[in-house]
Structure 1
């Protein structure tokens, strides 16, 4: 499975995608022959045959179950998808159904792209909290699955070096983690820890902001959503990012190397901070020696990122089409489809019953630990329209710190960028 957080721009495709997609999207509505109302659906899943196969099954089943609506799917490359949506929104040619990366939803809702989802609360209440997108008290999006992070290790390596194997109920403390990594470096690993720092984009916020939250800081003051001051540059944040910088200075982790899990597979690193999308390959290569460990407790309890791709209904979708879009979405959240997504894409199902039926994440599944980690430790990113700036500012500060910048100065600069964006947009409705 590809990394669900990869959002690399594909500018060369944008013009074609936006123009052809918008033209087709404008055809939503009753068919010329008085047949079913046509509902266009956009996904970011082009190039992912496993995911597309599940969508095809759902659409075929829904279209075959009734004759009032016809859902028609169009697929976009993930890298150009957000830009295509923005262009279509400007031209008022969005489709009725569209998927979105969870943390982007508040920006799209604020910009007027989306309408409240309107699904029964009995359905949305049954989903993992991180798969439901809420903004200003209203549900705008919901997803079939989530991803989760873990630390991969080899049981034999930890036992050989006398390192305690952490559990969900008793994870490593920061002091234990430091001692373990130091011992592994002394044992012969040139860089014992892969933090995934060669990755870019949304990975940085998804991966490292939970560590910051575990230490007592955050990307934004979530009580008001008005400022990053004190959360991103307070004492807890400075302390955490000092640790983060030292991890690279001490040679515990590298800032380069292959993106993914190959260094762990090749036993070049002993510990790999990575996601469920790399778990199947690790299982195949490492076998029963693989450990899927909980995140480190940096002082305020373990945390991992949550919130992946979700579905919404565009604001410009007509009344009849909106009713059809809701009917389709309610139909699509059947457990059998959620389990199909989980087992074809190696992602965590959004409901407990679909999880129980999964070959990977059920009670006896080899990746069950990821479902447990998601349920216990996952946190959504800040639900603010300013999140794109929050994320990019966080990434810049963290990378600068990794490369040796003064910690407090880098964090202060990030706070300034975030707060300036909030102010220039009149507080995004928070009363600033």
Structure 2
């Protein structure tokens, strides 16, 4: 997930729209004749994706052009769509029975599209030539619904503990290990935060999860804390939160998180702009994308001098959320084999290397990550190893938006409003289970 990722509109709306799809239509594929007058099938595939930054757009332009040149029997026509319009336009095209052959979808929204029958299963394609063993098992699980793989991953991102090195040294606090397999515990984080916290001088101990924003941000930054305490959000099949969200370990994590703000007061509900690089925040949980941001915008706040990075804290176990935008093939495509060729070309080892060499993203594949020296050295190795060894899917469920909203509200009620954990959890479970019960069945 990149920081720009937002929560898609309700899965019920998605599923409702998709349930109205007829069986006519089927991908925007076509055949062309050649100049000699003989019939030569040339497949044209439409590919929709959310428009990214200039570097991402250039990387996709290069991959599409390279694929078209090396596959004279296939022509891919790519349509970058503005981010704000992408979800609505994609849902509408699917509901009208005229979707693109290939589409980019954010990982948490995969199950809603798969449940509605909008995606082509890719399991057999992957087994044939997708080099599955080159992708972490936890990553593949992120794109699997009801035992079928529906999307092919290209990149990953991750989060870690950023800490102010000079503040730690001034207080004589031992620096956290840089070893991705040796995180400090949340109890150690709290102990350090209490020593570093000085609200009178405008300095807070830690922002544990990038504050309070939309539910999508909650899922990426706050679910790992629940997992790290041994808790959970939903059942593995994504049908209920009963027995998972109400686990004692989940409630312990919620109480610990709330206490950071309300009991020990080492966290604040509001921070000034850019508190970490401005030395107003001793620790923060932040993403791999912030390394470039700090280097560009705060050149005097230097890695290794002013701040350093450590793996995400743990309590009973290590855990980090995985999953990003990935490529899917429409169930209505008239040419799924050709569509898979393109998807496999882009997300395979060579395509991934091309893309990540330009964007500096973390590749989803082991073999590609090994080819970039900087990804195997501090600090980026922390993000890579965490993702590969301790990554976990956010709940794979067709009601992800409703589930995420309910959990987001639960955390806000417990932390901001001081609501009893048991009551807040019970309400969240009721909302989540009702949303699944109301899900239109295929």
Q: Output the TM-score relative to the length of structure 2.
A: 0.85
SS at match of 1:360: helix
Q: Could you say which residue in structure 2 is the equivalent of 1:143?
A: 153
| Of 316, 319, 333, the match for 1:317 | 333
Structural RMSD (CA): 2.5
Unaligned runs of 5+ in 1: 10-24
**1:26–1:114 CA distance, 2 compared to 1 (3 A):** closer
Q: Could you say which residue in structure 1 is the equivalent of 2:170?
A: 160
**1:74–1:131 CA distance, 2 compared to 1 (3 A):** farther
Checking the alignment, whether the CA contact within 8 Å between 2:345 and 2:351 is kept in structure 1 is no
User: Does residue 292 of the first structure (1) align with residue 312 of the second (2)?
Assistant: no
Larger displacement relative to structure 2 (307-316 or 233-242)? 233-242
Larger displacement relative to structure 2 (149-158 or 30-39)? 30-39
SS at match of 1:72: strand
| Of 247, 250, 260, the match for 1:247 | 260
User: Does residue 191 of the first structure (1) align with residue 204 of the second (2)?
Assistant: yes
Q: Please give the per-residue CA displacement for 1:269-327, whole angstroms capped at 9, x wherever unaligned.
A: 0111111111222355423233221111122x121111111111011111xx2111111
Q: 1:80-95, aligned counterparts within 5 Å?
A: 80-95=85-100
Q: Could you say which residue in structure 2 is the equivalent of 1:337?
A: 351
**1:154–1:344 CA distance, 2 compared to 1 (3 A):** farther
Q: Could you say which residue in structure 2 is the equivalent of 1:200?
A: 214
SS at match of 2:222: helix
Q: Between Structure 1 and Structure 2, how many residues are aligned? A: 406
Q: Please give the per-residue CA displacement for 1:190-218, whole angstroms capped at 9, x wherever unaligned.
A: 32212311432311011111110111211
Q: Please give the per-residue CA displacement for 1:347-405, whole angstroms capped at 9, x wherever unaligned.
A: 211112211222531x3464222111212221111222222221111111112222122
CA distance in 2, matches of 1:408, 1:341: 46
Q: Please give the per-residue CA displacement for 1:237-280, whole angstroms capped at 9, x wherever unaligned.
A: 22211111111124322223468xx2211111011111111122
Q: Could you say which residue in structure 1 is the equivalent of 2:5?
A: 5
CA distance in 1, matches of 2:227, 2:198: 30
Instruction: Give 1:189 shift.
Output: 5.5
| Of 383, 386, 393, the match for 1:370 | 383
CA distance in 2, matches of 1:328, 1:106: 22
SS at match of 1:288: coil
Q: Could you say which residue in structure 2 is the equivalent of 1:17?
A: none
Larger displacement relative to structure 2 (417-426 or 202-211)? 417-426
Q: Could you say which residue in structure 1 is the equivalent of 2:340?
A: 326
Larger displacement relative to structure 2 (224-233 or 47-56)? 224-233
CA distance in 2, matches of 1:390, 1:248: 24
SS at match of 2:233: coil
CA distance in 2, matches of 1:37, 1:88: 20
CA distance in 1, matches of 2:281, 2:54: 32
CA distance in 2, matches of 1:93, 1:274: 39
CA distance in 2, matches of 1:357, 1:8: 34
Checking the alignment, whether the CA contact within 8 Å between 2:198 and 2:204 is kept in structure 1 is no
Q: Please give the per-residue CA displacement for 1:398-432, whole angstroms capped at 9, x wherever unaligned.
A: 12222122222111111001111122237x79xxx
Larger displacement relative to structure 2 (382-391 or 209-218)? 382-391
Checking the alignment, whether the CA contact within 8 Å between 2:212 and 2:218 is kept in structure 1 is no
| Of 46, 56, 71, the match for 2:61 | 56
Checking the alignment, whether the CA contact within 8 Å between 1:190 and 1:251 is kept in structure 2 is no
SS at match of 2:78: strand
Larger displacement relative to structure 2 (335-344 or 139-148)? 335-344
User: Does residue 234 of the first structure (1) align with residue 247 of the second (2)?
Assistant: yes
Higher relative contact order (CA 8 A, sep 6+): 2
Checking the alignment, whether the CA contact within 8 Å between 1:89 and 1:113 is kept in structure 2 is yes
Instruction: Give 1:36 shift.
Output: 2.2
Checking the alignment, whether the CA contact within 8 Å between 1:214 and 1:303 is kept in structure 2 is yes
**1:356–1:258 CA distance, 2 compared to 1 (3 A):** farther
Q: 1:39-118, aligned counterparts within 5 Å?
A: 39-44=45-50, 46-117=51-122, 118=124
Instruction: Give 1:7 shift.
Output: 4.3
Q: Output the TM-score relative to the length of structure 1.
A: 0.87
CA distance in 2, matches of 1:376, 1:162: 32
Checking the alignment, whether the CA contact within 8 Å between 2:156 and 2:364 is kept in structure 1 is yes
Unaligned runs of 5+ in 2: 10-25, 35-39
Instruction: Give 1:52 shift.
Output: 1.1
